[in-house]
């Protein structure tokens, strides 16, 4: 893994910034966890099946297991036993015999067909089958789901609820997964107050950004281990930076990213050896986003405006967390081509990411694209990617978009 370089204040393009994350950021390591604690984690090695599933041929319906060659419509067959899931019939079946069987139960040795109970007429130990029970045989063959040794989940797979089913089916008790990134989040700004308290100060606003960032961290499989809000006083912010670097693998700082006398997001880490990977990105919103390293820990600086912060977190934080867990940046940047449901204005001189809403007609850009907008943020479920200088587009035009 290559280390950060001194980026100065150079502005780079979006693709260049993402490429730097992909090349410079690597996984934190691996841990072994019990299967029951693996949900949301990322597999660190391929997961192969221990055995065939099903291990034996099983019935796909409730009915009777028979030897097809010895079974005719209306002819009497002797019922010699029963096969249940988890408690199969121990003997062998011969032509002219039947075994009562239930869905998921192992087919008795010698049998090759399950006739659904809807076609059966039983009296005591004798069963007859009515016309129309074919043509399906209602048997799941051994290994028909997957065979022993089959690759069920590849390394880098996030263990979603669906993937957890496959992991359990592999018949393993423990999984080797990527270490969960420990994240610290620091919000900066004299104007910030805790939600529920800001109304008590006329010049205060609720601190909202870190709540959205923390939710994004959790959804990405990481853990927020430290949260703090600091006023624009450099010594105090330097102390917060030290505590965050001590606690976490990644520190996210919001606000203070401009060049004013009270913008301390980068200076607060300078005393801790901050080296920048990139300092600014030519995008709108979010040009002040930056990434560096201090004391061996990654530090991501997000703008203080809520919309800018959440857009840049989607574009940079999620790929960064993916790399820390051994995944690719592309795993979090899956662009789709979708139609516009309403006209889209021309882009400016920077590549822009327009907040939009999707419905059955397509994508519609939200009316309020201000970087500080919060009321419209909840309605934005897609980002439309607009190259610099892109002309206005009409309804029905196809655009590149990312789930937001």
CA nearest 46: which of 149, 150, 154? 154
- Tell me: do 215 and 297 sit in the same domain: yes
Angle, CA of 89, 91 and 96, to the nearest 5°:
100
Q: Torsions phi, psi of 246, nearest 5?
A: -70, -30
Judgement on whether residues 342 and 288 belong to the same structural domain of the protein: no
* pLDDT for position 375: 84
Quick one: the chain helix, strand, coil %, rounded to 5?
20, 35, 45
Does the residue 195 lie in any domain?
Answer: yes
Rounded to an integer, what distance in angstroms lies between the CA atom of residue 367 and that of residue 373?
A: 11
Question: In terms of residue numbers, what domain contains 382?
Answer: 336-403
Q: Are residues 121 and 239 in the same domain?
A: no
Whether pLDDT at 3 is above 50: no
Half-sphere exposure of 207 (CA within 13 A, CB side): 23
Instruction: Tell me: do 204 and 289 sit in the same domain.
Output: yes
Q: Is the residue at 150 inside a domain?
A: no
Q: How far apart are CA 335 and CA 324, in angstroms?
A: 21
The neighbour count for residue 370, using CB atoms within 10 Å, is 13
Residue percentage of the chain with pLDDT more than 90: 86
CATH number for the domain spanning 390: value is 2.40.340.10
Q: Give pTM, 2 decimals.
A: 0.87
Segment 238-242 mean pLDDT: 97
Does residue 210 share a domain with residue 292? yes
pLDDT at 2: 43
pLDDT average, residue stretch 351-356: 97
Residue 3 maps to a domain: no
Q: Looking at the structure, do residues 76 and 15 belong to the same domain, yes or no? A: no
CB atoms within 10 A of CB 228: 17
Q: In the chain, how many domains are there?
A: 4
- 259 falls in which pLDDT band (50, 70, 90)? low
The C-alpha atoms of residue 382 and residue 404 are separated, in whole angstroms, by 5
Q: What is the CATH number of the domain that holds 64?
A: 2.170.190.11
**Residues β-bridged to residue 140:** 58
pLDDT value of position 7: 62
Asked if residue 218 and residue 311 are part of one domain, the reply reads yes
Do 107 and 250 belong to one domain? no
- Whether the link from the prior residue into 135 is cis, omega within 30° of 0, is yes
188-192, 244-248, 339-343: least confident range: 188-192
């Amino acid at each position: 893994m290559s280390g950060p370089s001194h980026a100065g204040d150079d502005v780079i393009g979006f693709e260049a910034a993402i490429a730097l994350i992909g090349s410079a950021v690597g996984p934190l390591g691996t841990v072994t966890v019990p299967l029951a604690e693996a949900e949301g984690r990322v597999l660190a090695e391929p997961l192969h099946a221990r055995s065939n599933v099903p291990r034996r041929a099983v019935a796909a319906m409730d009915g009777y297991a028979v030897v097809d060659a010895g079974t005719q419509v209306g002819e009497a067959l002797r019922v010699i036993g029963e096969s249940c899931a988890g408690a199969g019939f121990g003997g062998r079946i011969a032509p002219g015999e039947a075994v009562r069987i239930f869905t998921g139960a192992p087919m008795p040795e010698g049998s090759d067909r399950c006739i659904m109970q809807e076609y059966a007429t039983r009296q005591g130990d004798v069963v007859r089958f009515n016309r129309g029970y074919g043509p399906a045989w209602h048997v799941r063959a051994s290994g028909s789901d997957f065979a022993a040794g089959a690759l069920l989940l590849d390394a880098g797979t996030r263990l979603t609820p669906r993937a957890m089913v496959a992991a359990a089916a592999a018949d393993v008790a423990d999984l080797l997964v990527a270490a969960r990134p420990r994240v610290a989040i620091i919000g900066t700004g004299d104007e910030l107050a805790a939600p529920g308290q800001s109304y008590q100060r006329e010049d205060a606003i609720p601190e909202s950004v870190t709540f959205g960032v923390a939710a994004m961290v959790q959804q990405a499989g990481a853990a927020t281990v430290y949260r703090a809000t600091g006023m624009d006083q450099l010594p105090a912010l330097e102390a917060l930076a030290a505590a965050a670097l001590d606690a976490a693998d990644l520190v996210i700082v919001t606000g203070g990213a401009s060049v004013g006398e009270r913008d301390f997001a980068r200076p607060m880490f300078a005393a801790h050896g901050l080296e920048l990977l990139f300092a600014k990105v030519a995008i709108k919103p979010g040009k002040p986003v930056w990434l560096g390293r201090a004391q061996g820990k990654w530090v991501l600086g997000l703008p203080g405006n809520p919309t800018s912060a959440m857009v840049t977190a989607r574009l940079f934080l999620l790929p960064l967390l993916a790399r820390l867990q051994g995944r690719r940046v592309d795993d979090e940047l899956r662009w789709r081509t979708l139609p516009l449901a309403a006209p889209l204005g021309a882009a400016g001189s920077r590549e822009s990411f327009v907040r939009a809403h999707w419905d059955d007609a397509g994508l519609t850009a939200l009316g309020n694209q201000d970087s500080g907008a919060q009321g419209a943020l909840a309605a934005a479920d897609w980002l439309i990617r607009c190259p610099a200088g892109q002309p206005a587009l009409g309804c029905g035009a196809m655009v590149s978009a990312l789930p937001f």
